[in-house]
Chains A and B, each alone.
Chain A
Amino acid sequence: MKFGVIIFPGSNCDHDAYHVISKHVGQPVDFIWHRDTDLSGYDALIIPGGFSYGDYLRAGALARFSPVMGAVREFADEGGLVLGICNGFQILCEAGLLPGALIRNRELHFICRHVHVRVETTETPFTTALNSGEVLYLPIAHAEGNYFCDDATLEELQREDRIIFRYTDAGGEQKDEANPNGSRAAIAGICSRQRNVLGLMPHPERACEDLLGSSDGRGIFRSLANTLAALA
C-alpha cells in the first residue's frame, strides 16, 4: 500500500503526516507537490494541515483551484481514500468534496489545545479499528474550525451516518463547554457520501506517541492501514 502526502507551499504539517505513516504505520509514503497531477500508484492520500497558499483570503479558498486538487477529485471519485486534516478538511470543503464550511472559531482566536472527540461510527475506512462511542484525546490547532452547514445538510449528514467525530467532554458527553470552536452539532469530522473521503479538524498525526501527550490518533491510521490491507 502506498500513501501520498500532498504539499501546498504553505502546508506545515506535511512532515508530521509523513513521519507518522513511515514511522508508526510503517508504510511507503511520498510527498506530492501541488502542481503534480498524476496520482496513479497511490492507495491513500493525506491533505495535511497548514496554510495552503497563505490562506489570507479564506482557508483553502485558493487551494481548491490548484492543479493537484483536480487529480484528487478524480482519485476520490474512483473510490481512493482521502484524509484531510485541519487545513486539509478546510480544503476538502472548499473543493466541494465534503459539504459545509469551516468558519472562524466562536471566540475568534486561534486555539491550540487537546480536546476530547467521540467516535460516532466505525462504518468508515478510517475508524474500523476504533469503537463507536470511544473518546479520543486529540490536539486541535486552528483559527477556522467552526463547522457550519445548513439544516438540510445537517439532516442529511445525520441520516447517512456521516458525522464521524464530535467534540465531547472526557466522559463522552456532548456539552457546549466541550465544543472548542462553536461547531454546529459539535461536529469535528465528517465523511463523503461514498465514505472514502474524511475531513477532521483535530490532528491525529500529533497524537501517535505517548511522549507527545497522547497516542489516541494511532487508531485512525491503523484503521486506514487495515482497510487498505484488506483491499489488497
Chain B
Amino acid sequence: MPPGENAGVVDIGDGWCAAFKVESHNHPSFIEPFQGAATGVGGILRDIFTMGARPIAAMNSLRFGTLEHTEHGRRNRALLAGVVAGIAHYGNAFGVATVGGEVAFDDAYALNPLVNAFALGLVRRDQIFFGKASGVGNPVLYVGAKTGRDGIHGATMASAEFDDEALEKRPTVQVGDPFLEKLLLEACLEAMRSGAVAGIQDMGAAGLTSSSCEMAARAGNGIELDLTLVPQREQNMTAYEIMLSESQERMLIVAHRGRERQLVDIFGKWDLDAVVIGRVTDSGNVVVKHHGERLAEIPSRFLTDEAPLYERSMKPGREGGGVDDERVAVGGGLDLVSPAPPTAPVFDESSAESLQNYNDTLRRLVAAPNIASKEWVYRQYDHMVRTNTAVLPGADAAVVRVKETRRALAMCLDGNGRYCAVNPREGARLVVAEAARNVVCVGARPLAVTNCLNFASPERPEVMWAFSEVIDGMSEACRAFETPVISGNVSFYNETEGRGIHPTPVIGMVGLIEDVRRIVQHGFKREGHVVALVGETGEDLSASEYEGTIEGRTFAEMTKAGGRVPRLDLERERAVQSVVLRAAEAGLLQSAHDCSDGGLAVALAESCFSSLGRRGIGASVELRGALSSVAHLFSETPSRIIVSFEESARTRIEELAAEANCPLQIIGSTGGTRLLVSANGTECIAQDINELETVWRTSLGDKLRAEVLAAAAE
C-alpha cells in the first residue's frame, strides 16, 4: 500500500495484514499532560481502525527532563505521572493492550517532553479501507462525537515554538473520551463489514478541513459539505470553527449511494450520530456551505499534494565536535564517530579505574532512570487485554500473537537523542540497528518500520541539516535491514524559549515470528546453560550511560570532552542478527538480550533478574580481550547480543556464527544466586541477584513516590 494513507500496512501471511504507525503528541502533552497524552493515544488508534484494522497493541515512546533536576525535577516528575495516567486512562478503557515502548530522561527534553504513540492493528488482506472519496454522487457522512469548540488551532499550536504563554494555550488541547472511541471503533468495523462504506477517514489535526480535502484529493474528486447539518454540541458555531474544530472521536465516511440508511442504523445501535452532510462531486473542489451560503470553494489538491513546499536552508552544526553553544544541541560531521578499529580510548580511563568499585557502579547504573525497570509506568497500562501478549513489557521487544494463525508480531520503539545530537546520520543508523536487533532478540525477523521524527525549529539551518542527515542515515540502515518505512510523522518546533531538543528520530520496528513456539525472551531460563556474546565489545564509553550517570557529565560536557558515537558496521550488525535469528528459529536459544544502555554488565544483570513466574538466576562470566575493565563492563558498542543455550546446542551455534563470519565468545555459564563477572582475570562484580534486582525494580517508583502522595492529597 502506498504511503500517504492513515497508516501503513504490511502483509504478515495467511491472509492477514498489520497496519501500524507512530505519531507525536508532544506539544499538547506539555501543556496538559493527561489529556495531551490521552488524545495522542486516541488519534493513533483512529488512524489504525480507519484502515479497517482492529487495534491489538499500543506502545509509546516518552522523553522527559531528568527526575531529580534541582530546578525542574518536580515538574518533570509531574509531567511523567500525568502523561502515564493519560495513556492508561485512554488505552485501558478503549481496550488495547499497551505492550511496550520506552521512557528516557535527558534535560534536553525538560521544556519539551516527547510523547510518541504507536498502535498496531490487524486486518484481513482483502478488507483494507482507504481514505478516499470515491464515486461521484456518493453521500458523505459525519459520524461519532458532536463538534465543539475544542482544539481549534490545535495543529498550529503544535507547530510553533513555546514561550512563557504556553500554558495559556491549554484550551487548544482536546479532551478525549475513550468510551466514545470504543463505540466508534466497534461501529466503524461493523459498518465496514456491512459493505456500505466506500471510504473512511478520521478527523484529526485541522478536523473537517483536512479530512474532507484529503479524501477528495486522494480520489481526484470534489466534496460538497453543508455545515448546517454537522452535529454540534455548542450553539452559534461559525463555519470557521466547525471546519477547524479538533473535537475528538469523529470520522468522515463516504457511503455507497443508497446505503446511507444502513450506516445510520449501525451507528444508532452504538448510540452514535451518523448524518449525511454532503456528497462527492466531480468538480475536484471542496465546497463549504453554511446556512445556505457558499463560504469556500477550493481545489482539494491545493491543500494536499499541491500545497506549497518549503525550501529550508541547511547548515551543518559545528565541525569537529565541541558544542560550545549550549542552546543548540546539534553536533557536526562524520569525525564524531569512533574510529574503527578502536584505537587509543578517547575516554579518560584513570578516573574510572581509580573508583575500583565496579559493584557500586553497577548498582548505580541499574538504578539510573534510563536503565531502571519501567514497571512503575507499564503496570498502569493494561498490557494483557485481548489475551495476545506473549512477551510482556520490559523485554527487548513486546510480542503479540495473531490468534487466527501460528504467527506472532514483535514490536519495539527506540530512539537515542544523545547519539543523534552528536552525529545525526550515525545516530539514526544506530537507532534503526538497535530497533532491528531488539525484535531479533525475541526471535522475530524485522519486517517494516514506522518513524516519528522529533526536531526543533526547522527554520534554523542546523536543525534542518540534522533532519536531512537523520533521514539519510535512517534510509541507509533501513535498506540494509530490508525494512521499508511504511508510515510516520514529523514533529517540528520542539523548542521552548529558544532551546531545542536533541534531534530525536523514534523508530518503531515490527518483526514477524513464524511460529509462536520459537519466541525467545531475555531472562536466563535454567542453571547450567552456556552464556555467550554474539558480536564484539569495543572502546565505546563516550556519550554512554556510564559517562552520564557515573562520570556525571552533562551532554555539553560530553561533547566538549570530544563526544563520539560508536561506529556501526552494518555488515557486522546483519551478521550478528542473522546468527541469533537462525539460532532462534532452529529452537537453539534459551535466551537472547540486546546489549545497549549501560553495556554488558547491565545486560547480564537484566538476564539474571526474575521474570513472570521465574526466579532470578545468577551467572558467572569471564571477559577477556585487549580492553580496560570499564570498557568490558560498560561500553555501549552496538551489534552485540548476549545469548544462553544448552551445552548440546553449542556446536551448532558456533557453526552458525562461523558461517556468518560473526564473532562469538563463550563468556560463562548460568547458575547460583549471584552475578559474578571478572575482566582480564580480575574479579570486578559479585552481586546478589535479588538485591540488585530490588534496586533496579524499585528505583523509578521511589523517585516518583512524592508525586503519588501529592496526587493522593489532592
Give 4 closest A-B pairs by Cβ, nearest first.
Answer: A12-B95, A54-B179, A51-B93, A141-B382
A49 (CB) vs chain B CBs: closest residue:
B385
A55 within 8 A of B: yes
* Contact between chains at B382 and A112 (CB < 8 Å): yes
Question: A92 CA to B384 CA in the complex, in Å?
Answer: 23
* Contact between chains at A112 and B711 (CB < 8 Å): no
Interface size on A, residues (CB 8 A): 36
Instruction: Give the distance to chain B from A66, nearest Cβ to Cβ, in Å.
Output: 12
* Contact between chains at A107 and B708 (CB < 8 Å): yes
Known: A12-B182, A137-B613, A214-B613. A50 touches B95 (CB 8 A): yes
B712 within 8 A of A: yes
* Contact between chains at A109 and B385 (CB < 8 Å): no
Interface residues of B in 385-427 (CB under 8 A from A): 385-387, 389-390, 392, 401, 403
B379 within 8 A of A: yes
Question: A41 CA to B408 CA in the complex, in Å?
Answer: 37
B459 within 8 A of A: no
Contacts of B88 in A (CB 8 A): 109-110
B516 within 8 A of A: yes
* Contact between chains at B183 and A211 (CB < 8 Å): no
A10 (CB) vs chain B CBs: closest residue:
B179
Question: A137 CA to B614 CA in the complex, in Å?
Answer: 12
Instruction: Give the distance to chain B from A34, nearest Cβ to Cβ, in Å.
Output: 11
* Contact between chains at A211 and B516 (CB < 8 Å): yes
Contacts of A19 in B (CB 8 A): 387, 403
Contacts of B178 in A (CB 8 A): 51, 54
Known: A9-B186, A9-B271, A108-B708. A212 touches B387 (CB 8 A): yes
Known: A211-B401, A214-B613. A111 touches B380 (CB 8 A): yes
Selected contact of A13 from candidates B180, B271, B385, B516, CB within 8 Å: B385
Contacts of B403 in A (CB 8 A): 19
Instruction: Give the distance to chain A from B176, nearest Cβ to Cβ, in Å.
Output: 12
State the B residues within 8 Å of A (CB): 85, 88, 92-95, 177-180, 182-183, 186, 270-271, 378-387, 389-390, 392, 401, 403, 516, 612-613, 708, 711-712
* Contact between chains at A9 and B612 (CB < 8 Å): no
Given contacts A12-B94, A108-B711, 6 further A-B contacts (CB under 8 A): A13-B385, A16-B387, A54-B180, A55-B179, A110-B380, A206-B387
Question: A107 CA to B401 CA in the complex, in Å?
Answer: 32
A94 within 8 A of B: no
Known: A10-B179, A16-B386, A56-B179. A141 touches B92 (CB 8 A): yes
Contacts of A67 in B (CB 8 A): none
State the A residues within 8 Å of B (CB): 9-10, 12-13, 15-16, 19-20, 49-51, 53-56, 107-114, 137, 139, 141, 143, 203, 205-206, 208-209, 211-214
Contacts of A213 in B (CB 8 A): 392, 612-613
Selected contact of A212 from candidates B92, B93, B182, B390, CB within 8 Å: B390
B272 (CB) vs chain A CBs: closest residue:
A9
Question: A18 CA to B448 CA in the complex, in Å?
Answer: 32
Question: A145 CA to B180 CA in the complex, in Å?
Answer: 23
* Contact between chains at A9 and B516 (CB < 8 Å): no
Contacts of B380 in A (CB 8 A): 109-112
Selected contact of B177 from candidates A54, A108, A112, A208, CB within 8 Å: A54
A15 (CB) vs chain B CBs: closest residue:
B386
Question: A12 CA to B97 CA in the complex, in Å?
Answer: 11
Contacts of A214 in B (CB 8 A): 612-613
A7 (CB) vs chain B CBs: closest residue:
B186
Contacts of A13 in B (CB 8 A): 95, 385-386
B179 (CB) vs chain A CBs: closest residue:
A54
Q: List 10 A-B contacts (CB under 8 A).
A: A12-B94, A13-B386, A16-B387, A19-B403, A51-B182, A109-B380, A113-B379, A114-B613, A141-B92, A211-B390
Contacts of A203 in B (CB 8 A): 384
Instruction: Give the distance to chain A from B461, nearest Cβ to Cβ, in Å.
Output: 45
Instruction: Give the distance to chain A from B536, nearest Cβ to Cβ, in Å.
Output: 34
* Contact between chains at A206 and B384 (CB < 8 Å): yes
B185 (CB) vs chain A CBs: closest residue:
A12
Contacts of B711 in A (CB 8 A): 108
Selected contact of B179 from candidates A53, A137, A211, CB within 8 Å: A53
Known: A12-B182, A54-B177. A112 touches B383 (CB 8 A): yes
Known: A16-B386, A203-B384, A213-B612. A110 touches B392 (CB 8 A): no
Selected contact of B182 from candidates A10, A110, A139, A208, CB within 8 Å: A10
B516 (CB) vs chain A CBs: closest residue:
A211
Question: A107 CA to B378 CA in the complex, in Å?
Answer: 15
Instruction: Give the distance to chain B from A170, nearest Cβ to Cβ, in Å.
Output: 9
Contacts of A137 in B (CB 8 A): 613
> Residue among A19, A51, A112 with the most chain B CB within 10 A?
A112
Question: A219 CA to B213 CA in the complex, in Å?
Answer: 55
Instruction: Give the distance to chain B from A177, nearest Cβ to Cβ, in Å.
Output: 13
B403 (CB) vs chain A CBs: closest residue:
A19
Instruction: Give the distance to chain B from A7, nearest Cβ to Cβ, in Å.
Output: 9
Contacts of A143 in B (CB 8 A): 92
Instruction: Give the distance to chain A from B184, nearest Cβ to Cβ, in Å.
Output: 11
Contacts of A12 in B (CB 8 A): 93-95, 182, 385-386
